[in-house]
């Protein structure tokens, strides 16, 4: 974990050095703020993904969930539901969605990658069938920026995301519930024998994932005055990448939200940094892939250097 933080720090140092030399405008407050606002929803999803991965599961349906949540939020707002209630109802819808995934995983024992793969296709197709690709248009004027002015709306989004992040970071580290998530991810059987409600925790993690994704959908929608029904494509891979770059073990039990924040920050700056540096957008995907692979290689190298294998017994 510490090596990972160092590696990301080095990445940032190099990036900062290059940008400071080639495109100092990158560091203007307005730019950093814009990047933060744009990526705040993705961060919320990555927070949820961290929980899910810590608990030893995975959720590849978040992109579809995000789209459903956005459309639900837009439809409610269009129907004249006040914004706080819209957010609440959307979160509720997200919770239901998450509960469905969670129930498949914890009660029916479907491996989470399969269950959420199915959920992803199911929801995407259903949404496509129902909306036929149409956007939700004609939202009330006070929907955008939650009825605040733009600067206040942006601030509100950032504060909300920061609050949620801080709350989850604290809970994961310092509350028994947070530790229980780690415990379940570390060993389900041990957690069961320790009397932890394993099924309940797995279910809860998926529900939180659903709620966070729904909130992300709302936070994303309020930045605009229309809702795109095909939103969130590829969001699942972005969130998983952020968590993995942040140093979490894909098998569960290891990782922190701070790592995820670092991972998400790396992914968030690639595209704008490329534009600022005048590098062609064609290489963006390759760079993303290379960063993930770099993280794997780095992990292994640092493990070798410290010589701490995982062999035991004697």
Partner 1 sequence: MLLEAQGIAKNYGGVRALKGVSFDLRAGEVHALVGENGAGKSTLIKVLTGAVEPDAGSIFLGGERILNNSPHHSRSLGLAAVYQQPAIFPHLTVAENIALVNETGGLARKVNWAARVETARELLKAIGADIDPEREAGTLSMPEQQLVEIAKALGANVRVLILDEPTASLTELETERLFTIVARLRSQGAGIIYISHRLEELARIADRITVLRDGESITTRQATETTPQQLVSLMAGRELATLLPKVTVPLGDVVLSVQGLSSVSAGVHGVDLEVRAGEILGIAGLVGAGRTQLAETLFGITPADAGKIRVKGSEVVVRNPEDAIAAGIAYVPEDRRRHGIVGDLPVRANTTLAILPQLSSRALLDQESERELATEWVTRLGIKTDGIDAPASSLSGGNQQKVAISRWLATEPKVLILDEPTQGIDVGAKAECHRIMCDMAAKGLAIVMISSELNEILGMCDRVAVMRNGHIVATVARAEATAESLLALALGHTS
Partner 2 sequence: MLVENRAGRERALLLVVALELVIFAFTGPNFLSAANGFEIVRLGVELGLLALALTPIIITGGIDLSVGSMMGLCAVVFGFLWRDLHFPLPLAALAALATGTAGGALNAALITRFSGAPLIVTLGTYSLFRGIAEGLTRGVDNFSQFPPGFLYFGQGYLGGIVPVQALVFVAFVVLYWLLLHRSVFGRAFRAIGFSAATNGDARWSGIPVNRRLALAYTLSGFTSAVASLIYVAHLGQARSDAATGYELLAITAVVLGGASISGGRGSIWGTLLGLGAIVMLQNGLRVSALPVELAGILTSAILVGTIAVGHLRRRPKEAPDTASPDTESEEDQMKNSQLAVLSSVIIAGALIVAGSNWWLVQSVRPVTPATTVAAAPAFKRHTLAVMPKAKGDPYFVSCRLGAEAAAKELGQDLIWDGPADLDPARQNEVVEAWITRGVDTIAVAVVNAPGISSVLRKARAKGIKVLTWDADALPDARDYFVNQATPQGIGETLADEANRILGGEGDFAIITGALTAANQNEWIQFIKARIAAKYPKLHLITIRPSDDDRNRAFSEAQTLMKVYPKMRLIMAISAPAVPGAAEAVKQSGRQDVKVTGLSLPNMCKPYVMAGIAESVVLWNTLDLGYLVVNASRQAADGTLKPGVTEIDGGRLGKIGIEGTQVVLGKPLIFTKANIDKYNF
Residues 53-92 that bind partner 2 (CB under 8 A): 58
Residue 18 Cβ, how far from partner 2 at the closest point, in Å? Answer: 15
For partner 2, which residue of 2, 84, 297, 305 counts as binding (CB under 8 A)? 297
- Binders of partner 1 among 221-280, rule CB under 8 A? 249, 252-254
* Residues 171, 309: Cα–Cα separation, whole Å: 30
Specify the residue, 211 or 216, whose C-beta has the smaller distance to partner 2. Answer: 216
CA dihedral 31, 247, 236, 283 (to 10 degrees): 60
Instruction: Give the span between the Cα atoms of 101 and 95, in whole angstroms.
Output: 10
- Strand pairing partners for 129? none
Q: What is the enclosing helix (H) or strand (E) of 167?
A: helix 150-174
C-beta of 71 vs 178, nearer to partner 2? 71
The entry of partner 2, partner 1, none near residue 152 (CB within 5 to 8 angstroms by kind) is none
129 binds partner 2 (CB under 8 A): yes
| Partner in contact with 289, chosen from partner 2, partner 1, none, beta carbon below 5 to 8 Å by kind | partner 2
Nearest residue to 2 via CA among 299, 305, 300, 311: 299
Cβ atoms 279, 254 nearer than 8 A = no
Query: Is residue 108 classed as helix, strand or coil in its secondary structure?
Result: coil
Q: What is the CA radius of gyration of the chain?
A: 20
Residue in this structure with the two tokens 């952020």, named with its chain if needed: 242
229 to each of 64, 253, 303, how far by Cα in Å? 10, 35, 44
Q: Which of residues 235-294 bind partner 2 (CB under 8 A)?
A: 237, 240-241, 244, 249-251, 271-272, 275-276, 278, 280-293
Please choose which of partner 2, partner 1, none residue 11 contacts, taking the beta carbon within 5 to 8 angstroms, the exact cut-off set by kind. Answer: none
Residues 141-180 that bind partner 1 (CB under 8 A): 173-177, 179-180
Q: Restricting to residues 187-216, which ones interact with partner 1 according to CB under 8 A?
A: 187, 189-197
| Cβ-based nearer residue to partner 2, 67 or 178 | 67
For partner 1, the binding residues (CB under 8 A) are: 173-177, 179-180, 182-183, 185-187, 189-197, 249, 252-254, 307-314
């Amino acid at each position: 974990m510490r090596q990972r933080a160092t590696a990301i720090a080095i990445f940032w140092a190099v990036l900062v050095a290059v940008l400071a030399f080639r495109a100092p405008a990158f560091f203007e407050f307005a730019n950093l703020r814009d990047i933060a606002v744009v990526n705040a929803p993705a961060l919320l999803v990555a927070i949820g993904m961290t929980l899910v991965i810590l608990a030893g599961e995975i959720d590849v349906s978040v992109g579809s969930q995000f789209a459903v949540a956005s459309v639900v939020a837009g439809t409610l707002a269009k129907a004249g539901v006040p914004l706080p209630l819209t957010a609440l109802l959307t979160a509720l819808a997200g919770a239901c969605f998450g509960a469905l995934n969670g129930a498949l995983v914890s009660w029916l024992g479907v491996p989470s990658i399969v269950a959420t793969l199915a959920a992803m296709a199911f929801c995407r197709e259903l949404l496509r069938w129902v909306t036929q690709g149409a956007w939700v248009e004609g939202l009330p004027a006070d929907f955008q920026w939650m009825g605040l002015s733009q600067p206040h709306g942006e601030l509100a989004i950032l504060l909300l995301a920061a609050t949620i992040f801080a709350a989850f970071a604290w809970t994961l580290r310092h509350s028994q519930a947070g530790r229980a998530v780690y415990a379940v991810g570390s060993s389900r059987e041990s957690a069961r024998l320790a009397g932890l409600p394993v099924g309940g925790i797995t279910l809860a993690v998926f529900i939180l994932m659903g709620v966070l994704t729904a909130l992300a959908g709302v936070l994303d929608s309020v930045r605009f005055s229309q809702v795109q029904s095909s939103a969130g494509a590829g969001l699942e891979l972005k969130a998983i990448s952020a968590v993995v770059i942040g140093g979490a073990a894909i098998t569960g039990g290891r990782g922190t939200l701070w790592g995820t924040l670092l991972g998400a920050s790396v992914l968030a700056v690639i595209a704008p940094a490329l534009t600022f540096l005048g590098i062609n957008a064609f290489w963006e995907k390759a760079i993303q892939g290379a960063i993930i692979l770099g993280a794997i290689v780095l992990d292994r190298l640092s493990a070798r250097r410290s010589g701490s294998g995982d062999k035991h017994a004697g």
